[in-house]
Amino acid sequence: MSPVLQWLIDAFNAQIAIGSSALLVREVVGNVFGLASALGAMRRRLWAWPVGIVGNLLLLTVFLGSLFGTEHAANLLGQAGRQVMFIAVSIYGWVRWRQARDSDGHAVTPRWASGRTRLLLVVALVAGTAAITPLFRMLGSYEPVWSDAWTFVGSLLATWAMAKGWVEFWLIWVAVDAVGVPLLFSAGYYATAFMYLFYGAFTIVGFFVWMRASRGAKPRIDTDLPDPTVRGARG
């Protein structure tokens, strides 16, 4: 084996010893990329999407630890699946924000979703969790499985709402973190759990930042119709 390849393998499996347990370095690094992406989202910068994708790729290898020979913690299929979902939706968001970028460098103008859309988001979160929970349980996801399903569905909705530029996406993240933090602690993913705990406070700040930004924009409430200011945007 070449020295370069061996170095890459060692770096991939590197751990940080904490008492009797250890943290994967790539779990820590993946969450740092996630935090940077959240900061970029709050500032409405286009680079938030590619930075987030790098973090998603790293965390995907963490949550499917057994497939990568990692003696770490339990497999969380919802957490792993949502990294794949993040990547797919992030590509959509990246394109959409790039098309909507203004002269000030802001990639999106925050706006409120319609009342109908808010109701649909709530229904989708609850119904999606109920529908996916049996599947995750059958595949052997960590208990309580509904929590894993909740974080998966909530993350999908939050990322999609972020791509749309809806202020409410921050509140969906709060709901995700409220369930995800206890789940991650119980499953042994301490670095991600602490990062989610920090995200909880960060998302509240982000909500008020976007709310103020929406007040300075041209008054508009999303009506679920194509946005005429975004050329070629997909619905």
**Cβ neighbours, 10 Å, residue 171:** 18
Mean of per-residue pLDDT scores for the chain: 78
pLDDT tens digit sequence for 73-132 = 455 666 677 788 888 888 988 888 887 766 565 667 888 999 999 999 999 999 999 999
Cα–Cα distances in angstroms (integers) from residue 104 to residues 44, 107, 124, 207, in the given order: 10, 9, 35, 20
Helix (H, G, I), strand (E, B) or coil at 225: coil
Which pLDDT band, with edges at 50, 70 and 90, does 68 fall under? low
How large is the C-alpha radius of gyration of the chain? Answer: 18
Q: Is the pLDDT of residue 135 over 50?
A: yes
Residue bearing the bigger pLDDT, 8 or 182: 182
Averaged pLDDT for residues 16-20 = 59
Q: Enter the tokens of residue 163.
A: 């791509």
Amino acid 222: pLDDT: 44
Q: Is the pLDDT of residue 227 over 50?
A: no
Q: How many helices (H) and strands (E) does the chain have?
A: 8, 2
Averaged pLDDT for residues 150-173 = 91
pTM: 0.71
Q: Please, are residues 9 and 41 in contact by the beta-carbon 8 Å criterion?
A: no
Q: At what angle do helices 77-100 and 115-138 cross, to 10 degrees?
A: 150
